Structure 1
Amino acid sequence: MANVRISGRQIEVDGKPIPLISGEVHYWRLAPARWREILNRVKEMGLSTIATYVCWEYHEYERGKFDFTGETEPQRNLVGFLDLCEEMNLWVIIRPGPYIYSEWKNAGVPDYAAPYHRLSKEYQSAALPWMKAVTEVLKPRLATNGGRIICFQPDNEMDLFTHWFEDEMGFRGRPGLFHEFLKERYGSVDKLNEAWGTSYSSIEQAQVRAREPFMLNPSGRSAMLDYWRFEHWLVAKCVKWHADTYQQLGIDVPIYHNYYYGGDIQNHRELSKVVDFLGIDVYPGNEFENEGYPGRHNIFMNMLRYQRTVSPIPYIAEFECGVWHGLHEVSGIITPNSYRLMCFSAIAAGITGWNWYMLVGRDNWYFCPIQEWGRIRPELYDVMRRIVAAYYEINPPACEKLTDTAIVADPLHIAAAKSLRSDPTADALYEADIEFETLDLETEKIKKPLLFYVGDQWLSREDQRKLADYVESGGTLVFFKNYPRFDETQKPLNLLGIREPDRVLTPLGKRLELRLGSISAEAVPETVPFDYDPVEISGITWLTAVQTLGAMQAVENSDVLAINYQGRKFNVGYIEQRGKGKIIFIGLDPNPALVAAVHKYAGASTYARADSSGVHTSLLKRGSIWFLIAANNAADERRTIVAFDGKDVPSGECKVTDLWTGEESRMTIDSSMTIKLDRKSGNAWKIEPCR
């Protein structure tokens, strides 16, 4: 019996590493006579793994009767397809639902199961015969039994669509699953009333607040957060039922689950507790210019970084490869360069595997590199073949991403406050081209010496304590205006002791330069500055910003007024020593210059930074070899200098290989190198020291 396990951010079968880079091939949507030719194209691309759904609605040709051998229709021959994969030495990621979505009727379930939500007795009793039948086919073909199936996805993008089941959920005035959750969370109505500021006589009387329109209402915000906690509880409970059921039926390869990129309905951290690893689904749209999930490059990068703190394999379960009918009208035609931009960006963020969805064309899908007949679209196929070659040369699972920096990432902030989509501090780091990690304070999986607070103005008591411990033990914690001032019940709590400003000044006319010791950096013009009275306090150094002379105004007397104000000093923040570490609080809006200055002041390395806007870089290391990964999100070609900063960066005589063109050169690296990037594309350079 083979040993299949997760090790080193990839799958291992009897000690042999299997990087999770694959493509989706839906056998039941393709003519069986073309399967071999199609799979040959997959292998010629350099891939050794494919993924596929198994469609309940299609394989159950009559209620209670399943065809997995093609007796009723040739495309139903799952057994034949899996046997062919084994013959061709292809590994398989299997995704048998029950739900698969996949632009299929009822999202892949029969008519009789579709009306019920996935935690209902009606649905689960309907789904169980399917799960038993498909498992009987799959078990002998698991890698643990000598087959080729290396991992297993129960269901798909778990979402109970509570807006269609408001009565069953308990959202419309009668008890439901929401009240089960509240009982589990609070135990008694008194504790619920204390948290919500209500006077219910029983938990069953509690009314949902899916949104809180009055942001100054702390009890309403507490109730709203419980709505998000409920959605997360519900999804995790449902994923657990599916995963546990399949395991009880005999599935013993690693089980993973996939989810939407937004982090709202699905709490990635909670899901990580009920499966072996996780995968995010991302469809950015063409060149990050059109509507997609997500549509902006910085959001894409943030959500991928978060995978590293919640999943032992930082994985993209569905990576845009073409687009479904309907979204094509807004996503645009996916260009070859778009794939370079997406894939090298993913590697830069620290992703170690992905599944292209869809690698092979089928109904309701466009722009795939391999057509249903096994013929290729050369302009797409060649690019993806070269991406695969670069991936294997880099070997992302074996690489360390070099960064001294992290941001705080809390699942409830991601859901309710959209913190990874629209936070100015995270945006400033991105625009400064400073690569970073995310720190989930529950898992504490990836800690770095420099931590920026990103999130809402509340944080649980426990997590505030963890931030205080992080500083006491030697970390540097940075705030730009925003900090946690409430706990998880929205009661005032400032466990970190952040000092309120004595005043908040007008932004009009402000053109400030921040002084961090001997380092200075310009703030955002017309920022709203905090201002403190500089009283002498042990352990505190006040931060000064100086008014500079901005552009002259074509208004009578304004030049004189601006000149007179030049040199005015404002105490906009402070540095406070705490134990072995420090808190840096800056009462200015963050921008690239300020976050770069903080790094320099704190002695935190930035490793690789491009001097051209629109270019994002990341430095990976494997053994003694570096890989410079770069993505150009600009609409034109960029020739840029990449500055290396840190102890463990390329220097001296090096052999540099362009992984896209294969060109090799020898150069002396003295703190920087120059690279060229096509518009809206990505690339990687292998840098080896000459000995």
Structure 2
Amino acid sequence: MTTFSVSGGYFRLDDQPVFIHAGEFHYFRCPREDWRARLQQLLDCGFNAVAAYIPWLWHQPTPDLMDVDGHSHPLRDLAGFLDLATEMGFWIIPRPGPYIMAETINEGVPPWVFEKYPHASFVNQYGKVENIASYLQPDFLKCVDEWYAAVFAVLAPRQITRGGKIIMIQLDNEMGMIHWVRNIIDTNPDTINRFAEWLDKTYHDDSPYPSLDVPAKRLYLMDRIRNPQPDSVRVIEDYRRFFRVYIREYMTRLWNMARAHGMEVPPVVNIHGFGNGGKTFPIGISQLIEAMEIPGMISATDVYPLHIDEGNLHHITLINEMTKAVQSPEQTLFSIEFQSGGNQDFGGTQSSLYDLHSRVSISLGMRAINHYLFYAGENHPILSPVKRHDWGPPIRKDGTTRRHYHRYRSLSNVIRAYGEALVVAQPKTVTTIGFILDQYMTEVNNEFTRPFTDTLTHQRDVILFDFIARGLTLTHRPFNCIELARGTLDSAKTPILWLMLDKACDAPIQQKLANYVSEGGKLVIVGRLPEETFGHTPCTILRDALGVQIARVDPPFTQTHIHAFKERDIPASFVETYTGEVGEVFATTADRDETVGFIKQVGMGHVMMLGAAFGAMVPEDLGVFDTMATRIGLPRLFRMSDWADVRVSEGDQGSFLYITNFQDDPIHTEIWMQGEPLFNGHTIHLPARRGAILPLHWRMHDGITVHWLTTEPLEISENDVEVRLFTDSAFKIPLAQISLDGYQCVSGNLIERGEDGRFLIDAIDGVFIFKKG
């Protein structure tokens, strides 16, 4: 019996690392007679898995009608759908809610739940009843348990642990997303009671709140939430932290219910928040961090970039690295909602987005993708009052395909050709971005918390994303991330650390940073030095350790200009100036010549401080970043004669160079890695809006090593006498440098035979043939 496991940074089948390549299919929006044909289209793309929401409101439209076998409607035959997917060879990832969103009424929860149990509803800070549940309200959970009993009666026997094909199950969907998007705070009595209890456990005898008995404390909290006052700031900030624990408790309850009804495979929590090009995504991580840290939990992202090019590449890079920093180290990077829609027939997203986004994500270590949503369909009125459900996916309602459908097969072929060698290869990074998750704990606000949130949002977006992440990305300095409240800082393992700081930072993190520098780390800070904790207690540990004083702080959002290195009059805001032992000054205010940026030795390490906010929006700004990186001792990993995004993953079975051209014109470029030319100096040719995964020292087959290849492999076939390597004909005539042991190449032209036994061969028809002997 096949096994599925999560260990060592991989998803594994029979203990072998595997790439999970799935598409989302909503069986309840497609005629039953078309299910097989639609799933075949997924197989034709080279996918090995299918995911599906299972809508509660569809399968239990009334309290007394529960249908998961199709006896009341053919599109409720969940068992039949799962058995068909199993018959066709798919691994399966069910997503049974209770919440599914997916443009359904009440986000997937049956209306009768609220009609029967109105007190289970979420009541916002204005006293308005929302059309969502208060997650932990007992009657809501009782209804969920009844739903789970029915749906897991179908799911449980079909798990891989029992000889079936279900390998993971997502519980609920985007927990906390609605609360963030609507900016709503739950004042349901059940939630307020839990909040009051949490405050007692958290603060014990050192509470900043009035000493009140339990009923009075509940009234106090309710009043401060519904009638904001200056001291409501602490209430809202504590509520955000409480809600992390609340979501963890909700996920724990769901998992316990599911296990009671037979769930044995790992659970999945999906992370929402991909707004503003991805800059808000860490808000979702912050909301869900406690649930993500439940032992055995698999974390997965929801990503919808809408487009991809040099302008937002760093968004995608940063959010993936932030996710890796806080997810279980046992799992691979996994996206359970990876945009495959948005390509409407008359306008919309470029069809190249989906392939390019996939390639970039794989280059960052993603080894499990569910392309969402892969099919258009129709809604029954129970699901939605809007009949048409078509957001531009690869497959239309009638089964015809849009242009981007055909790109999936090609990438699947490349993944299959490389096999386990690509799956196990790990991205090479040269530096680290530090981040503080509490800087993203800003999902709900009132008029008194809003100014702090607006300032923090600006600093996050402009500095962390558009200066640090963009600067590293566009100058070919690949990075990983560390969450500073959770991760360990070791100057030997993390020699250079970049981070955005603002006026609040908790004491343990400030001390950790001070220790890191004094012990030999190189710390690059952009922003402003902290003067208090997130709880608003004065704290200047880091500033004191650096031995500088703050001379002046511009009011928030004040626009001014600074000089940095040789660049003059750079537009900037949130400027802070320094005095004291600032060491070497590299940036000053344009009008007063006050110190804004400096480099100095602190203990055994160095700190580089830039007290200003501006993004790397033009080449001059990027030049400032590049000079900062060079001065702190961080060279570029790659250099190119014509710019493209390039990254490398390294493994025991070979390394893989990911090169991506986002331009509307082809590029022809030479590539140097760590100062050495790749491909023996030969030019790489990439068509417009195309990417390539090129091998370096890849053990393609026993006796055949491909040291490099200037195009992508699509297929390897073999028989008793020969091995054939088929490559992509979209590129120029492929060149390959190959070592052979027990084989000879009988195709193409031998260009050069090296003294080291390597052969330089081209293949006009794109096929390399190796015969035994």
Letter in 2 for 1:279: A
Task: Give the conservation status (yes or no) of the 8 Å contact 1:309–1:445.
Answer: no
Q: CA deviation at 1:543?
A: 2.9
Q: Match of 1:438?
A: 481
Q: Is the 8 A contact 2:463 2:527 kept in 1?
A: no
- Mapping of residues 134-213 of structure 1, within 5 Å: 134-159=151-176, 161=178, 166-168=186-188, 175-188=192-205, 190-193=206-209, 203-204=217-218, 205-206=220-221
- Superposition RMSD in Å: 3.8
Do 2:655 and 2:696's aligned partners in 1 also have CA atoms closer than 8 Å?
yes
The Cα of 1:367 is off from its aligned counterpart by 1.9
Moved more, 333-342 or 175-184: 175-184
Which structure 2 residues correspond to residues 139-538 of structure 1 after superposition, within 5 A?
A: 139-159=156-176, 161=178, 166-168=186-188, 175-188=192-205, 190-193=206-209, 203-204=217-218, 205-206=220-221, 222-261=234-273, 262-264=281-283, 267-274=287-294, 276-287=297-308, 296-311=312-327, 312-323=331-342, 333-363=348-378, 364-377=389-402, 379-392=403-416, 397-416=423-442, 417-418=456-457, 422-432=461-471, 433=474, 434-444=477-487, 448-496=494-542, 497-498=545-546, 499-502=548-551, 512-514=563-565, 522=567, 525=570, 527=572
The answer on 1:668 being equivalent to 2:668 is no
Between 588-597 and 76-85, report the one with greater CA deviation: 588-597
**What letter corresponds to residue 529 of structure 2 in structure 1?**
Y
Superimposed CA distance per residue, residues 83-133 of structure 1 (whole angstroms, 9 cap, x where no aligned partner): 222222110011111111112232222222244322111111111111011
State the 1:316 CA deviation. 1.2
Other structure's SS at 1:604 match? coil
Cα gap change, 1:424 to 1:288, in 2 (>3 Å): same
Q: Which residue of 2 aligns with 1:21?
A: 21
* Equivalent residue number for residue 585 of structure 1: 609
Report percent identity of matched pairs.
23
SS at match of 2:537: coil
5+ residue gaps, structure 1, are 290-294, 515-520, 549-561, 655-666
Cα 1:34/1:78, change in 2 over 3 Å = same
Q: Is it true that 1:39 corresponds to 2:39 in the alignment? A: yes
* 1:543 corresponds to 2:585: yes
CA shift for structure 1 position 256: 1.0
* Unmatched segments (≥5 aa) in structure 2: 115-120, 122-132, 274-280, 379-388, 443-455, 615-620, 698-706, 708-736, 738-757, 759-773
Checking the alignment, whether the CA contact within 8 Å between 1:641 and 1:674 is kept in structure 2 is: yes
Moved more, 18-27 or 65-74: 65-74
Equivalent of residue 639 in structure 1, options 662, 667, 671: 667
Question: How far does residue 411 in structure 1 lie from its aligned partner after superposition?
Answer: 2.1
1:362–1:372 contact (8 Å) kept in structure 2: yes
Q: Secondary structure at the match of 1:156?
A: coil
Structure 1 residues 82 and 544, CA gap change in structure 2 (3 angstroms): closer
What SS is found at the alignment partner of 1:484?
coil
**SS where residue 96 of structure 2 aligns?**
strand
Q: Structure 2 vs 1, CA of residues 411 and 587 (structure 1 numbering), >3 Å: closer, same or farther?
A: closer
In structure 2, relative to structure 1, the CA distance for the partners of 1:509 and 1:77 (3 Å cut) is: closer
Q: Deviations over 1:529-573 (max 9, x none)?
A: 7655565xxxx743345899xxxxxxxxxxxxx9xx9xx896842
Higher mean alpha-carbon deviation, 102-111 vs 280-289, is at 280-289
- Greater alpha carbon shift after TM alignment, 44-53 vs 469-478: 469-478
| 1:628 equivalenced with 2:657 (yes/no) | yes
Letter in 1 for 2:84: L
| 1:552-631 alignment runs, 5 A limit | 572-579=597-604, 581-589=605-613, 591-608=621-638, 615-623=644-652, 625-631=654-660
Q: What's the secondary structure of 1:167's corresponding residue?
A: coil
Tell me which amino acid in the other structure corresponds to 1:429.
I
Residue aligned with 1:206, SS: helix
CA distance in 2, matches of 1:183, 1:419: 34
Q: What is the identity, as a one-letter code, of the residue corresponding to 2:497?
A: L
User: 1:59 and 1:170, CA in 2 relative to 1: closer, same or farther beyond 3 A?
Assistant: closer
Which amino acid letter does the alignment assign opposite residue 530 of structure 2? P
Question: Is contact 1:458–1:490 with CA below 8 Å preserved after alignment?
Answer: yes
Aligned residue type for 2:563: L
Contact preservation (8 Å) 2:94, 2:168: yes
Distance 1:16 1:145, change over 3 A: farther
Cα contact 2:225–2:236 (8 A) shared by 1 = yes
C-alpha distance in structure 1 between counterparts of 2:253 and 2:554, whole Å:
54
Separation in structure 2 between the aligned mates of residue 300 and residue 628 of structure 1, nearest angstrom = 18
Aligned equivalent of 1:685, options 680, 684, 694: 694
- Cα deviation for residue 609 of structure 1 reads 5.6
Q: Does the 8 Å contact 2:501/2:525 carry over to 1?
A: no
Task: State whether residues 54 and 94 of structure 2, in contact with CA within 8 Å, keep that contact through their aligned partners in structure 1.
Answer: yes
Q: Secondary structure at the match of 2:99?
A: coil
* CA offsets 1:409-447 (integer angstroms, 9 cap, x no match): 222212323479503243123443133222112432796
Structure 1 match to 2:702: none
> What per-residue deviation string (whole Å, max 9, x for no partner) do you get for residues 247-299 of structure 1?
2322111111112123335534322112521111122225579xxxxx95443
Distance change (3 Å), C-alpha of 1:443 and 1:100 = same
Q: CA deviation at 1:22?
A: 0.8
Contact 1:361 1:368 in 2 (8 A): yes
Task: Provide, for residues 325-355 of structure 1, a one-character-per-residue CA deviation record: whole Å limited to 9, x for no partner.
Answer: xxx79x9623311213322232344433221
Matched-pair contact (CA < 8 Å) for 1:407–1:426: no
Contact 2:532 2:539 in 1 (8 A): yes
Q: SS of the residue aligned with 2:441?
A: helix
* TM-score, normalised with respect to structure 2: 0.71
Is this contact kept in 2: 1:287–1:334, CA < 8 A?
Answer: no
Q: In 2 relative to 1, CA 36–436 (structure 1 residues): closer, same or farther, beyond 3 Å?
A: same
Evaluate the alpha carbon distance shift between residue 167 and residue 571 of structure 1 in structure 2; reply closer, same or farther with a 3 A threshold.
closer
| Deviation sequence 1:113-158 (CA, Å, 0-9, x none) | 2443221111111111110111121111101111100001111111
Distance 1:323 1:286 in 2: 10
Q: Tell me the secondary structure at the aligned position of residue 134 of structure 2.
A: coil
Q: State the match for 2:81 in structure 1.
A: 81
The 3 A distance-change label for structure 1 pair 164 and 431 is closer
Residue 509 of structure 1 and its aligned partner are, at CA, apart by 9.9
Task: Give the C-alpha shift of residue 375 in structure 1.
Answer: 4.0
SS of equivalent to 1:459: coil
User: Any idea what the Cα deviations from partners look like across 1:569-621, whole Å, max 9, x if unmatched?
Assistant: 96842312334x332223455642233223323333432366778x5433322
8 Å CA contact retained: 1:435, 1:618: yes
Q: In structure 2, the residue corresponding to 1:341 is in which secondary structure? A: helix
Matched, 1:124 2:121: no
